[in-house]
Structure 1
Amino acid sequence: MLIFYYLKYILIFSVLIFLNKTFIWIFSISEYNITPDFVIVAVVYIGIDKGKIIGMVTGFFAGIIMDLLVGSFLGLSALSYCIAGFLAGYFSNIETKKFLYKHYFLMVVFICSVVANFLYYIIYFQGFSLIFLDIIIKYVLPTSAYTTLLSSIYVIVTYKKKINLPA
């Protein structure tokens, strides 16, 4: 049924948002203030799998829930995830099912993460005395690279499962 299909995604996003907000310290590199973003990986996956509009709507709702839980700049995460989901949807026509299980997925995660983090941090740091290049080097690129690195676990696990290799 269609309701179970949507409930599956709601449950996945609920777990990811919960992980992103409570157990992120386990995965963070606190010395450099780098934290991964698990939610954007799921938004990118859905954007590639279902297309631009579904990716955009999914990103918006995931972002608005994140904004409501965090309590700062309502709509900022919604905007950045929405655009990332839409951008990921541009890759939905390239042999989608095969695309999701290969290293190309990591490339799309990195691109969408850079765009989403760029939008987020540029707006978030308005009024601060940070240089544009400083925001890119200290926040956008490290967070995007670390998110991509951790999303490679998904690619490795699903690739092994797809070709039936022993774990």
Structure 2
Amino acid sequence: MDRIRPWLILVGVFLLQFFLSELLAIRYYRPDFVVIFILYFGLFFGSYYGVIAGFIIGIFIDMTPLASYFGLSPMTYSITGYLAGHLQDKYIRWSPFAFHAAWLCIISFHFLVFTYVRYQLLFEVDIVQYLLRWFLTMTYTLIFLLILQFFFPIKRIQGA
């Protein structure tokens, strides 16, 4: 049961994203619960399983009506899982500031790639509006990640 539990949580997060993100949408901005899960998954299991989980849930998301470009979600979630997996067991060796800055950069990079591919025309027409969309979407997701930190801190996942 312990081996299948993370994959059941993955399905639960997918359902949460599918049903709840539209209800929590503010204009164009929706929280991305999946990227939070992939970050935690990669930090706990490593980059190999982070890539696999990111790809699987990305394919599921691309098969829903929420998707914009087929292949974008698996690519960005796989990259996020890979990079997060490289932070596994680094909390003890790095300073807390460097560790938290690293995962914040991973989340920022995820949203930068995702919004660039999704809003290419907006990037060329109005870069300020594009940057605003990137920043607000990322910030909205980080608010939910901050709330999750109270219940499941990344520090505890890293075994510190």
Is the contact made by 1:57 and 1:82 (CA closer than 8 Å) also made in structure 2? yes
Partner residue of 1:23?
Answer: 20
1:114 is aligned with what amino acid?
S
2:77 equivalent to 1:81? yes
Provide, for residues 27-55 of structure 1, a one-character-per-residue CA deviation record: whole Å limited to 9, x for no partner. 2223xx22110011110001111112211
Unaligned 5+ runs, structure 2: none
Contact 2:91 2:99 in 1 (8 A): no
Aligned-partner Cα distance in 2 for 1:6–1:72: 32
Aligned to 1:117: 111
What CA distance in whole angstroms lies between the structure 1 residues aligned with 2:103 and 2:61?
A: 19
Q: Aligned to 2:125, what secondary structure does the other structure show?
A: coil
- The answer on whether the counterparts of 1:44 and 1:85 sit within 8 Å (CA) in structure 2 is yes
Aligned residues: 150
Instruction: Quote the Cα distance in structure 1 between the aligned partners of 2:103 and 2:54.
Output: 13
Q: Percent identity?
A: 22
1:58 Cα offset (Å): 1.2
Once the two structures are superposed, residues 100-144 of structure 1 have per-residue CA deviations (whole angstroms, 9 ceiling, x without a partner) of xx898865553222211211121122345533443222x211111
Aligned partner of 2:60 in structure 1 is: 65
1:65 partner amino acid: F
Aligned-partner Cα distance in 2 for 1:140–1:22: 22
**Letter aligned with residue 89 of structure 1:** G
- What value does the CA root-mean-square deviation take over the aligned residues? 2.7
**Relative CO higher for 1 or 2, CA cutoff 8 Å, sep ≥ 6?**
2
Q: Work out the CA distance in 1 between the residues paired with 2:98 and 2:56.
A: 25
Report the CA distance shift for 1:105/1:44 in structure 2 as closer, same or farther (over 3 A).
Answer: farther
CA distance in 1, matches of 2:76, 2:145: 18
Match of 1:135 in 2: 130
Deviating 4+ runs (over 2 angstroms): 4-7, 25-30, 102-113, 125-134
2:87 alignment partner AA: F
Match of 1:5 among 2, 26, 30: 2
Distance 1:105 1:157 in 2: 19
